[in-house]
Amino acid sequence: MRTEPGARPAGTTTRILDVAERLVQTRGHNGFSYADVATELGITRAALHYHYPGKAELGEALVARYADRFAAALAELDVEASGAPAALEGYAELYAEVLSRQRMCLCGMLAAEYMTLPPAMQRGVTAFFEHNAEWLRSVLERGRREGTLAFSGSAADSAAMVLGGLEGAMLITRMNGDVAGFRAAAARLLAGLSISADQIPA
Amino acid sequence: MRTEPGARPAGTTTRILDVAERLVQTRGHNGFSYADVATELGITRAALHYHYPGKAELGEALVARYADRFAAALAELDVEASGAPAALEGYAELYAEVLSRQRMCLCGMLAAEYMTLPPAMQRGVTAFFEHNAEWLRSVLERGRREGTLAFSGSAADSAAMVLGGLEGAMLITRMNGDVAGFRAAAARLLAGLSISADQIPA
DNA sequence: GTCTATACAGCGATAGAC
DNA sequence: GTCTATCGCTGTATAGAC
């Protein structure tokens, strides 16, 4: 690590990651260049190569940091959420917060570009989704066991549905910035997993 | 139109669109070049510029053709599907067929790259999703009216959920080619709209 | 309708000075 | 840690011959 524990004023490495992260989340990995990042930071491309030898390495660091943050958020939900339904709502809210900053999920973006990514990034993206699916599966199983959730089929299938549903709703609502529309679609998605009661025709 | 009605052997224009379509669906609009298309067709880049002056125009034609095909498929579902649930299953199967050819939905792909697209392509992608959401909404309303579907909230919100859910499930399952996983997630998604009955804890 | 040739901008990346 | 300078490659696009 190049940033020593004592160095406070937001190290260059961190600022590079912050700018690059936003660019990937809005324009995609194939939609930004080293020049974009360097210009925004007021440094040259060459300086960027000092911190990250190539775009592939920068991309790997991006995925790793994003996955770590998400994992931490999931661990926090495990502790704070009062039950499975609340955990799912908190999970959906993580997505809504990203969207409200007019961004797409970093790994959702990279999923679209998957075929063009360097192998190390592909592995990172795959691991991100597997970890999310596994977390969702465990929450769903717990909810079913405790009687707070009800659904047909395997918990893994429903986990895939929730994961895909949120990523997809995000992908589409981001185009017009309709965060309220996202929240409504997410609520409907989770409603299909609740113990009926809400099956009230309008 | 440069392809006369009598010219049979699959005009160059069509073959260009076919190759470019596959490239966008697998690699994205920012993930392929004129050279990729030209090489595969055994012609030069310059020849490509004769048919489509620029990548933007090629992209517009791609979106327009894809949207037309999809609209035709939806119209056919209106005629052939016996009821709202069958129409929804047929709709999901359209996605499954694209995925089974190891492709992502063209417009789903372009939704990720939305911020980097030329304005005309942006309009085309937006129109595609609006048309799909509107079709889904009308199917959902009919199903609710006829008593074959049941769901809380507005039909528009559930339409957004189905659309986003299928696009997202597609986006994620494409990474490992898990078509069976997609079908399972899609079935679970639609199960949340059926008149309960399947709420049987395993 | 396709070719050769070319222009020119942008890209990722490296070497070496400071 | 950042700079200038430069390389080689790829990108889109154009002009003009056939």
CATH number at residue B115: 1.10.357.10
Let me know if residue B3 belongs to a domain. Answer: no
What was the pLDDT predicted at A200? 38
- A-to-B residue pairs, Cβ atoms closer than 8 angstroms: 206
Separation of CA B31 and C1' D1 in angstroms?
33
Let me know if residue A18 belongs to a domain. Answer: no
Let me know if residue B197 belongs to a domain. Answer: no
Residue A113 C-alpha, separation from nearest chain B C-alpha, in angstroms: 6
Give the CA angle between residues B3, B9, B12 to the nearest 5°. Answer: 50
Are B31 and A126 in contact (CB < 8 Å)? no
Q: Which amino acid is at A102?
A: Q
Residues in contact with A92: Cβ distance below 8 Å, sequence separation at least 6, in sequence order: A166, A183, A186, A187, A189, A190
Average pLDDT over residues A145-173: 97
* Chain B contact set for A36 (CB, 8 A): none
The kind and range of the H/E element at A12 are helix A12-27
Average pLDDT over residues A92-102: 98
What was the pLDDT predicted at B202? 38
Q: What is the rounded CA–CA span in Å between residue A200 and residue B7? A: 57
Q: Environment class of residue B190 by beta-carbon count within 10 Å: exposed (0-12), middle (13-18) or buried (19+)? A: buried
Let me know if residue B37 belongs to a domain. Answer: yes
DSSP state of A152: S
Q: Within the 69-108 window of chain A, which residues sit less than 8 Å (CB to CB) from chain B?
A: 104, 108
Q: List, for residues A54-66, the tens digit of each pLDDT value.
A: 999 999 999 999 9
Let me know if residue A114 belongs to a domain. Answer: yes
What was the pLDDT predicted at B1? 47
- Could you give phi then psi for residue A68, rounded to 5 degrees? -60, -45
Write out the DSSP string of chain B. Answer: --S-TT--S--HHHHHHHHHHHHHHHH-GGG--HHHHHHHHTS-HHHHHHHSSSHHHHHHHHHHHHHHHHHHHHHHHHHH-SSHHHHHHHHHHHHHHHHHTT---HHHHHHHTGGGS-HHHHHHHHHHHHHHHHHHHHHHHHHHHHTSB--SS-HHHHHHHHHHHHHHHHHHHGGGT-HHHHHHHHHHHHHTTB-SS-----
Q: What is the rounded CA–CA span in Å between residue A167 and residue A161? A: 10
Q: Which of B151, B163, B172, B175 to mutate to test the interface with A (most CBs of A within 10 A)?
A: B172
Are B189 and A161 in contact (CB < 8 Å)? yes
Separation of CA B193 and C1' C10 in angstroms?
50
Residues in contact with A72: Cβ distance below 8 Å, sequence separation at least 6, in sequence order: none
Q: Environment class of residue A42 by beta-carbon count within 10 Å: exposed (0-12), middle (13-18) or buried (19+)? A: exposed
What was the pLDDT predicted at B196? 55
Q: Which amino acid is at B98?
A: V
How many structural domains comprise chain B? 1
Let me know if residue B94 belongs to a domain. Answer: yes
Q: Within the 125-154 window of chain B, which residues sit less than 8 Å (CB to CB) from chain A?
A: 125-126, 129, 144, 150-154
The answer to whether A143 and A84 are in contact (CB under 8 A) is yes
Range of the domain at A131: 59-191
Let me know if residue A73 belongs to a domain. Answer: yes
Answer whether 0.85 is exceeded by the pTM: yes
**Cα→Cα distances A30→A20, A115, A161, A162, A178, Å:** 12, 11, 28, 27, 25
Q: What is the rounded CA–CA span in Å between residue A103 and residue A69? A: 16
Q: Which residue of B has its CA nearest to A162?
A: B165
Let me know if residue B196 belongs to a domain. Answer: no
Please give residues of chain A from 10 to 39 whose alpha-adjacent beta carbon (CB) lies under 7 Å from any atom of strand C.
Answer: 32-36
Of A163, A83, A132, the residue nearest B188 (C-alpha): A163
pLDDT at B128 over 60: yes
Are B172 and A115 in contact (CB < 8 Å)? no
Nucleotide nearest to B58 (CA to C1'): D12
What was the pLDDT predicted at B81? 96
Q: What percent of chain B has pLDDT over 70?
A: 92
Nucleotide nearest to A58 (CA to C1'): C12
Q: List, for residues B167-198, the tens digit of each pLDDT value.
A: 999 999 999 999 999 999 999 999 999 875 44
pLDDT at B58 over 90: yes
